[in-house]
A = this chain, B = another copy of it.
Amino acid sequence: MFYNLSDKELEALKIIRNSLVHQGRIPSVRELMIGLNYKSPRSSAVLLKSLEEKEILRKKMDGSYQIVDFEIPEDYGSRAQTVKIPLLGSVACGIPIFADENIEAEVSISVEMIKKGCKYFLLRAEGDSMDKAGINNGDLLLIKQQQDAENGDRILALIDDEATVKEYNKSNGMVILKPKSNNKIHQPIILTDNFRIQGVVENVIKL
C-alpha cells in the first residue's frame, strides 16, 4: 500500500491524514505547500500528482482529490499511524472550542482510536468529580465533538463557563447531569434541554 513512497510523499500523506481528521478534506495545494515548507505551489502539486500516479490519491469528478485508502495497513502493529489531536486548555464560554487561544498542544493519537470524519479534541481532567467513573485528576480525556448523546454517556458540557464532564441523563424534557461519585460535594445538575452538549468522552488516558 504505502510501498515505494519517498520521504516527502510520506510526509505529505501525514499532513493529508491530519487534514482529513480536522478539516474533513484533502488540503489544498497551497496548504500542503506550507505544511511541507515548500515555497511554490508547483512543488506540492507535483507531489500530489505523483501520489495520484501511485494510486494513493484519486481525482474526483469535480477535480478535487480524494484519498483512495485511508485504512489501516494490515501490519498496523509495527507501523502505527497517528493523527494530531489538539489538547485544549481552558474552555471558556463563548469562545469557539477550537479557537487557537485554547490549544495548549498537539498530541499524537493512534488512528485506531479515531473514527473517520469525526472531530476530536483532548481535555485535561481537573478535580475529582468523576473519579468513580474512572476519571482522575490529570487524566487526558479524548472527546468526540458532537451535539447529541445517549443516556449514560459521559458528556462534556459548558456550565457556568466551566468545562464539566458528567453523566448524561435525559427524561421528560429535563436533562440531569450526574456526577458519578455520589457525595455531598458533587450534586447532580438539573437543566432544561436547551443547552448544548460539546462532546462525548470516548477514552480516558492515564498518564
Q: What is A's interface to B at a CB cutoff of 8 Å?
A: 1-5, 7, 10, 14, 76-82, 87, 90, 92-95, 104-110, 112-113, 140, 157-161, 171-172, 174, 176, 178, 184, 187-192, 194-196, 198, 203-207
Contact = CB atoms under 8 A, between A and B. Distances in A.
Given A108-B187, A174-B205, A176-B205, A194 B77 contact: yes
A153 B185 CA distance: 32
Given A93-B10, A108-B187, A77 B4 contact: no
A205 B190 contact: yes
Contact of A112 (B160, B188, B194): B194
Nearest to A84: B187
A196 B110 CA distance: 13
A80 B159 contact: yes
Mostly, the A contact residues are mixed
Nearest to A108: B189
B191 A110 contact: yes
B191 A7 contact: no
Contacts of A159: 80, 82, 108
A189 B82 contact: yes
A190 B113 contact: yes
A7 B82 contact: no
Contacts of A174: 203, 205-206
